[in-house]
Structures are given as C-alpha cells and as structure tokens.
Chains A and B, each alone.
Chain A
Amino acid sequence: MAELQRGIMSLRKQTPSDFLKQIIGRPVVVKLNSGVDYRGVLACLDGYMNIAVEQTEEYVNGQLKNKYGDAFLRGNNVLYISTQKRKM
C-alpha cells in the first residue's frame, strides 16, 4: 500500500491500507466504474487497487451473468471494495 500512503503528509492516516490487510480472505463485493459487480473471496490486492478474486460471480444490473474461478480486476476500474454482509 505504499502508493496510497506516499502523499505530502505521508502516513497521515493508516485506515485504507489497514482495511485492505484486514479483508484479505473474506468475501467481498467489488463494484467497478461501469456498474458491474463482482462477488467472491478476496485473494490479494495491491496499492493500485488491482484485485484478485476467487470463486467470482459477475452481476450486471443485479443479474448474475458469469462465474469465474479466478478473476483479476485492474485497479483503475474499481469504484469500491466492500465486505459482504449485506441486504439489498
């Protein structure tokens, strides 16, 4: 997470990088800028928000479209990463 911290006032807030360390291995929802939704288990990620997800389901407009064993998501497309206890 060095990239996320390397501002003028570095190490000002730890929380985003702490959060990312905490959620590895947990089921997550990753929403992209396009609105497409991916749900799976977070395998790993880096400071650019590039993400590797396992047992991924792809939802477009709330509808399940695809399933992937492993998915790599490029960080520039990521809108948010959420842990997955949710109701809709």
Chain B
Amino acid sequence: MTSLNGTSATPTPATNPSQLLPLELVDKCIGSRIHIVMKNDKEIVGTLLGFDDFVNMVLEDVTEFEITPEGRRITKLDQILLNGNNITMLIPGGEGPEV
C-alpha cells in the first residue's frame, strides 16, 4: 500500500494529525451502528461486531433494505456474516435509508 503523503517527515502543526487508515476507521466503529451500502441496490444497517482483512463483517440486530422497490425491508435479529465482496461503502453511525 503506497502512502498518499509520500515521505514527508517534517513535524506537523495541529492541522494535520497522523493519518487515519481506512481499516482503523472501521475498527473504531466496532460496537456501534453502521450502515453498509452494497453494490446492488441493497443496504444493510446493523451493529458492527467485527470484521477481517477482507472486510467481511459480522453484524448484529440487522435490517436489510432493498432500495429500488419502495424501500422494502427485512429485519433480522441475531448475527450475520456479510460477505465483503459486495460491499461498496461503509457509513459509521448511519441510520440507513429510513423513509
């Protein structure tokens, strides 16, 4: 993984804290609600329990939304393992496409 900042080693004032890596952001979200947008008009909202290097995600108390027909939703309790292959975007603290 190449660094976006190149090799700048100059000391930085308070405007530029050390980089937050994407997986660190996901890690911070463990234990809270997360809204996941998939590739195919589907969204998932749940509590993040954990994930792995491939961003497969374990979620709890999950609501599944189909976006194209008028927001059909399926509510699932207990836990799911969501395959990371189809994930497009993660939104920490997101509520989902509530209508």
Contact = CB atoms under 8 A, between A and B. Distances in A.
A16 B78 contact: no
Given A79-B82, A79-B86, A16 B58 contact: yes
Contacts of A5: 52-53
A80 B80 contact: yes
B83 A79 contact: yes
Contact of A82 (B27, B52, B79): B79
Interface in B46-91: 49-54, 56-58, 62, 74-83, 85-86
Nearest to A82: B80
B32 interface: no
A27 B82 CA distance: 17
Contacts of B40: 33
Interface residues of B, number: 28
Interface string B7-44: 00000000000000001000100000000001010001
Interface of A is mostly: mixed
Contacts of B51: 13, 15-16
A4 interface: yes
Interface of B: 1, 23, 27, 38, 40, 44, 49-54, 56-58, 62, 74-83, 85-86
Given A4-B56, A8-B1, A87-B75, 19 more contacts: A4-B53, A4-B54, A6-B53, A8-B53, A10-B53, A15-B51, A15-B52, A16-B52, A18-B50, A23-B79, A29-B76, A79-B83, A80-B44, A80-B80, A80-B82, A84-B78, A86-B74, A86-B77, A88-B74
The list of the 10 closest CB pairs from A to B, nearest first, reads A15-B50, A7-B53, A82-B80, A83-B78, A86-B76, A15-B58, A80-B82, A16-B52, A81-B81, A16-B56
27 contacts: A5-B52, A7-B53, A9-B53, A10-B53, A12-B52, A12-B53, A13-B50, A13-B51, A14-B50, A15-B50, A16-B52, A16-B56, A16-B58, A16-B81, A17-B52, A18-B50, A19-B58, A20-B81, A76-B85, A80-B81, A80-B82, A80-B83, A81-B81, A84-B78, A85-B78, A86-B75, A86-B78
